[in-house]
Structure 1
């Protein structure tokens, strides 16, 4: 029995597997995973975050001291947490009850709605395409929330703005790691979108709800919701205009990502292929309803999904075909380069990982600072201490607040 908690869990699994005389392929079949998945776990490149899988591994490997084997208290290398962001003002605004107000005069209403519509569009653009997107957006959101509270009873046009604002609030909170507050915001967005009578707005907000469920650790529920939204789109929207096609394709990608997180590779690949067919109907990548979709977006998701299943080499092969110049927003370029850095890191390609992180920093410096994936790659590279790139790596870590 392997009980030394100084030995990483992946190594303990490998030693127990060898002791039982099992190949990776056989063990994978017994626990319902792939041989590549087992390889990634044994190399501690992939965490086993489901208790049911951990217990199944212990059962198959005939471990009597399960608690000792799993080593829930084993020491971990210290990791830099995400930068602390004060969202107290947002939290207070979200927690305030929404009271019925007297309707404002029509003339005042129109002017206020136009002004708010411009502010919301500028804030969304800053969130998607500013190098300082966290700083700028967090600074502007409290005023937006107060403004939409003032026009809450102004009708359908106001509901469109309310839905868009709360959806943006949820997206920001989700990225900085406050998932419960993000869930509260996206619920408000869905509620307002339903009142607009616009099925695309409603389903887009509901897609944000699915993404929030995924970030909360409920891939099965996120998958079910995304697939039901696809069915609803087919029923309610003809998917004839470019906007309709774009929103439908974006929902296919959301479903594919949730399905991959739910460990169903065949279904995830099928959804990706369907999204490729949808993207082929568009002339270029689009950003309708602030949901990016097009041929480039499909391949970006293909890279991420390949990495989800531990197929880092395949992810890098797909990444070689992605024209990053066609990625419509800084944050998407940065997140794509971070994914590529993860793949290079798993392949022990330090140079490729650092180059990709530097490209991500060039696109959006704040994404390096706030991304948990980027922080993990930087920490892993620092631990390897390659003298040839030590100076560049430590400089990046210091600029990003990671060292």
Structure 2
């Protein structure tokens, strides 16, 4: 256990203030604890368990050892500039970590680890903001250090890795509030996949671009997303069939489904979901090709989403009762499912159910909850109409999210 000579609470308070001067509520929310418990820890009235101490270290941006040492002084960390660091790396302003070329296998392993963190970690934003800038720089350096004529195999592997990394960056930039960067990296993914001449990656890259367009507020963007998805499906049909391409065809059909739903073409969306995506999901089974999490469960989640968007909250909740999202390989997809259910209850003004699902989302993915405009809107709505019997609990949640 911890040495009694070290006042861990003092160290946590110290690094909370020096590394960004963030509020107790902000740190508590990211660590998944109440503000009251956070205060008790900083006042040395409670000692955090090892797993909670590790979460503190990640959120505060310091090694666990520094929280157990009274004398170590870390270099202050600049917060609210992490997206700028990613941007700087994307435009070549972050130097590579190594002067010599990194092997394609090592780069591939680092990107795989980054993806694993992004899909499974509760603190995925904190980890991405730390790991992505140097990884971007090293992948870019590898692409420039291996000319296509000198080692075609290494060049192709680096292009494949770059396309995969740009897919991760598309997701990160979108959720970090930078749709401009999301579009840029999605375009880079397409170019890298095309240069690698990899049919699966080419489909994945266009799936990513489809999601960029689905996030675009322009009225015509949804139609553009459907067009790029259907064009990619036609390209897949010209290739030799494989399980990976079957899964990607299904994932692209879901892009078209969402596009039709966004345009309020409900029956068209339902028909495509059942006749196209549903049949492909049966063939592909549960998968995670291209990190799309395509399979029967994901199709069921889209059924729920369509009914929610159509205003059919009762039908959406009936479908939700048939879904088990716990085994999905993506915490983000689990979060989206829970958020859709909370939104359905919000449509019915069943506030206790909304609140319970928001608490579940906070436990599942606290950083996603703090960054989700839709989730924050639900919390603000609860604050306006909450009943006195659980007003304090809702207020505590709002405090942890920095809303009050």
How does the TM-score come out when normalised to structure 1? 0.73
Query: Over the residues paired in the alignment, what is the CA RMSD in angstroms?
Result: 2.0
Aligned residue for 1:348, secondary structure, equals coil
The Cα offsets for residues 168-215 of structure 1, whole Å up to 9 and x where unpaired, read as 112101112211111111111110010111111011111111110111
Return the offset for 1:150. 1.3
Listed as ranges, the matches of 1:103-142 within 5 Å are: 112-142=103-133
The Cα offsets for residues 65-97 of structure 1, whole Å up to 9 and x where unpaired, read as xxxxxxxxxxxxxxxxxx966411222222349
| Residues in 2 aligned to 1:228 and 1:121: alpha-carbon distance in whole angstroms | 28
Corresponding residue for 2:137? 146
Corresponding residue for 1:232? 235
Return the offset for 1:400. 2.3
Corresponding residue for 1:257? 258
| Cα contact 2:92–2:137 (8 A) shared by 1 | no
Higher relative contact order (CA 8 A, sep 6+): 2
Aligned residue for 2:259, secondary structure, equals helix
| Cα contact 1:210–1:223 (8 A) shared by 2 | yes
Listed as ranges, the matches of 1:22-171 within 5 Å are: 86-96=82-92, 112-153=103-144, 154=146, 155-171=155-171
| Residues in 1 aligned to 2:187 and 2:284: alpha-carbon distance in whole angstroms | 31
Corresponding residue for 1:339? 340
84 and 266 in structure 1: CA distance in 2 versus 1, 3 angstrom threshold: farther
Corresponding residue for 1:280? 282
How does the TM-score come out when normalised to structure 2? 0.73
| Residues in 2 aligned to 1:315 and 1:177: alpha-carbon distance in whole angstroms | 28
Return the offset for 1:253. 1.2
Aligned residues: 309
| Residues in 1 aligned to 2:255 and 2:185: alpha-carbon distance in whole angstroms | 19
The Cα offsets for residues 35-79 of structure 1, whole Å up to 9 and x where unpaired, read as xxxxxxxxxxxxxxxxxxxxxxxxxxxxxxxxxxxxxxxxxxxxx
Runs (5+) with no aligned partner, structure 2: 1-78, 94-98, 147-154
Deviant stretches of 4+, over 6 Å: none
| Cα contact 2:343–2:354 (8 A) shared by 1 | yes
Aligned residue for 2:88, secondary structure, equals helix
Return the offset for 1:388. 2.6
Corresponding residue for 1:3? none
Runs (5+) with no aligned partner, structure 1: 1-82, 98-103
Corresponding residue for 2:357? 356
| Residues in 2 aligned to 1:257 and 1:120: alpha-carbon distance in whole angstroms | 28
151 and 292 in structure 1: CA distance in 2 versus 1, 3 angstrom threshold: same
Aligned residue for 1:395, secondary structure, equals helix
Corresponding residue for 1:69? none
Aligned residue for 1:263, secondary structure, equals coil
| Residues in 2 aligned to 1:166 and 1:281: alpha-carbon distance in whole angstroms | 28
Corresponding residue for 1:219? 222
| Residues in 2 aligned to 1:177 and 1:302: alpha-carbon distance in whole angstroms | 27
